[in-house]
Amino acid sequence: MINRTEFKVRFSEVDSMKVVWHGHYVKYLEDGREAFGAQYNIGYLDCFAHGILVPLVNIEIDYKRFLLIGEKAVVETRYVDSKAAKLKFEYTIFNSQTNEIVVKAKSVQVFLDTNHELLFTQPDFFVQWKLKWGITD
Residues that are catalytic: 15
d(CA 71, CA 67): 7
Please answer whether residues 90 and 78 qualify as being in contact, where contact means their C-beta atoms are separated by less than 8 angstroms.
Answer: yes
- Residue 77: helix, strand or coil by DSSP? strand
Largest Cα–Cα separation, the chain: 49
d(CA 65, CA 100): 8
Question: What H or E segment, with its residue span, contains residue 3?
Answer: strand 2-8
Chain-centre distance of CA 20, in angstroms?
Answer: 19
Q: What DSSP state is assigned to residue 41?
A: T
